[in-house]
Structure 1
Amino acid sequence: MAVCVAVIGKDNSPLYIGGIGNDTSTDNELSRQWLVHTALDALEERLASTNTNNSGANANAARTDLRDLYLGLLYSTDTHKIYGYVTNTRIKLVLVTSSTSPSGSNIRDAEVRTALRRLHALYADAICNPFHLPGDQITSQKFDKQVKNIMLNNV
């Protein structure tokens, strides 16, 4: 089961961090932010290694790698698994799942990939709002509701 979803800007500033559940305590919010920020190190490392591999490859191979924006499992802990996705504009999407729940340990890679692609589409819709300023946090209630729907139903 998905625990947290985050949209991180080009400059590694959080644009959206959302979770599910009724627990809105400060400790829970801080643990979500900690998980997302620790995922950024792994995400940046994966991006750096991808760019290094593409520089030596031919142009066709580089184009194929750029189409696949899903970075897969970034790292896992005893209680969580963290997955990453990067858009062409270097916006980072992070999905945190629980590995302690029975459904969390059986999550397939294809399900996570689909959820992150749907999140990317929701993000694109949210920033296409003419009143949204690029680089500002996403405060849309519609976006929040749709993200929580993805988290409850898909992953």
Structure 2
Amino acid sequence: MAVCVAVIGKDNSPLYIGGVGNDTNTDNELSRQWLVHTALDALEERLATTNTNTANSASNASRTDLRDLYLGLLYSTDTHKIYGYVTNTRIKLVLVTSSTSPSGSNIRDAEVRTALRRLHSLYADAICNPFHLPGEQITSSKFDKQVKNLLLNNV
């Protein structure tokens, strides 16, 4: 079961952090933000590793890895699993799932990959709004509703 999703800008500033469900408790909001921000370290490390591999090797396999935007499982804790995805423009998408629920422990990598690709599509649609300023937080209620619908139905 998905707990939250985040869209992080190029400069590691949060553009959107959305949780699933009606629980808007301040402690839960802070814990979601903490999970997302701790994932940034693992995400940046994975990106640095990918960049050095592609710089040191001119093989086709490393070029294919660079085109693959899905970074997979960044790290897991006792209660959560955190997955990452990076767009070509270095916008980072983070998905946090619960590993304590029965459905969360059996989540497949293909399901997460599909959900993050759909989130990328929703993000692209949201920033194509002519009234949205690039780099600003996403405040669209339509985007929020679509993200929550995606997470409740797919992950």
TM-score normalized with structure 1 length: 0.98
Deviations 1:106-128 (A, max 9, x none): 00000000000000000000000
- Structure 2 unaligned regions, length at least 5: none
Task: Give the % identical residues.
Answer: 90
- Where does the alignment leave 5 or more consecutive residues of structure 1 unmatched? none
Check conservation: 2:9, 2:15, Cα contact below 8 A.
Answer: yes
Of 104-113 and 17-26, more deviation after overlay is shown by 17-26
CA deviation map 1:46-69 (0-9, x unaligned): 000011111111163343122200
8 Å CA contact retained: 2:85, 2:116: yes
3-state SS in 2 of match to 1:93? strand
Distance in 2 separating the partners of 1:63 and 1:2: 31
Structure 2 match to 1:90? 90
After superposition, the C-alpha distances for 1:18-56 in whole angstroms (9 at most, x for unaligned) are 001111011010000000000000000000001111111
CA separation in 2, counterparts of 1:13 and 1:59?
34
Aligned pairs for 1:31-42 (under 5 A) are 31-42=31-42
- Equivalent pairs counted in the alignment come to 155
- TM-score, reference length from structure 2: 0.98
* C-alpha contact (below 8 Å) 1:54/1:61 kept by paired residues: no
